[in-house]
Amino acid sequence: MKAIIEVRNLSFRYTNRDPLILDSIDLDIERGSITSIAGLSGCGKSTLAFCLCGAIPKSMPGIMEGSIMIDGADIKELSLPNLAKKIGMVFQDVDNQLFLPTVESEIAFAPENLCLPYEDIEKIINRVISMLNIGHLRYKNPSHLSGGEKHLAAIASILSLDPDIIILDEVLSELDRENKELIKNVIKILNEAGKTIIIIDHSIKNLMVADTILLMRKGRIEDRIEVDDSHELLYNRLTDFYLQQQQ
């Protein structure tokens, strides 16, 4: 299957005087897959995610070298609105992503800014709410929701433009068991609907939902693990990877 994301020789640093945060990364992510990007804090996971969604270099300053192709298009040549139709990202600090009075308003925000007709926006809202089964959250204020519900609201907001790729940056890390299961179930729903999912995380248990796990260390991807049915062997391999870095 052809890769939906192709990254070649990607490097990033904030200024010429700063060390590389990403160092010569090459990777392919297949369409319809669930990929986890794992590593200790500071290894470059979130920076890689910001590059993939186009926030770097379009919104965040720095020096990026190499290329990122999304569905055959170079992200450097895509505007932010067009990128948002291809790839959406839920940030680690989800409170910075939610700022409107209702979940419905969050879903409607991007289509409204594209000046879509009211009838189309209403259809989009209903489609997203149905897909995520969040009719009970429709008129609630995101600031009053639980951690898992906030992440659902953020996922709903990016689904309004129906992107093929969704990046989830540490969305499971601060959640209790019930909310983690809630988001994991949504990940499966989205994947079954044909979405390509990228999960940024450091927790071994949270990585297990993926088809493929990319291990990062000091700005590089050191290993690629294809997830099979042997979760015990996978758990031991990931544990060894983390322990080696702490020695």
Report angle CA 187, 82, 102 to the nearest 5 degrees. Answer: 55
Query: Which SS3 state, helix, strand or coil, does residue 51 take?
Result: helix
**How many residues can be counted in the chain?**
247
State the pLDDT at residue 226.
84
Count of C-beta atoms within a 10 Å radius of residue 51: 25
pLDDT of residue 1: 63
pLDDT at 204: 76
Query: Which CATH number do you get for residue 159?
Result: 3.40.50.300
pTM, two decimal places: 0.90
Closest Cα to residue 88, out of 27, 158, 31, 144? 158
- What's the total number of domains in the chain? 1
DSSP state, residue 230: -
Band (12; pLDDT cuts 50, 70, 90) = very high
- What would the mean pLDDT of 218-225 be, rounded to a whole number? 90
Tokens matching residue 24: 């010569």
pLDDT in tens, 151-189: 899 999 999 999 999 999 988 877 788 888 888 888 999
Task: Report d(CA 170, CA 201) in Å as an integer.
Answer: 5
Query: Is the distance from CB of 50 to CB of 228 less than 8 angstroms?
Result: no
Kindly report the backbone phi and psi dihedral angles of residue 161, in degrees, each rounded to the nearest multiple of 5, phi listed first: -100, 5
The answer to whether residue 227 scores a pLDDT higher than 90 is no
pLDDT at 244: 75
Q: What is the pLDDT of residue 198?
A: 96
Beta-bridge partners for 217: 220
Domain that holds residue 207: 3-246
Name which of 66, 71, 64, 58 is nearest 31 in CA terms: 71
DSSP strand E in 98-228: where? 165-169, 196-201, 212-217, 220-226
Average pLDDT on 35-40 reads 90
CA-CA distance, 198 to 215, in Å (whole number)?
13
| Residue 246: pLDDT band with limits 50, 70, 90 | low
Give the residue-averaged pLDDT of 48-56.
Answer: 92
Report the pLDDT value the prediction gives residue 42, as an integer from 0 to 100.
Answer: 86
152 closest CA partner among 134, 176, 175, 136: 134
Closest listed residue to residue 36, CA positions, set 231, 176, 191, 169: 169
How far does CA 48 lie from the centroid of its chain? 10
If you average pLDDT over residues 208-214, what whole number do you get? 87
Q: What is the pLDDT of residue 50?
A: 92
Say what the pLDDT of residue 79 is.
Answer: 87
At residue 161, the 3 state secondary structure works out as coil
The pLDDT score that the predictor gives to residue 165 is 96
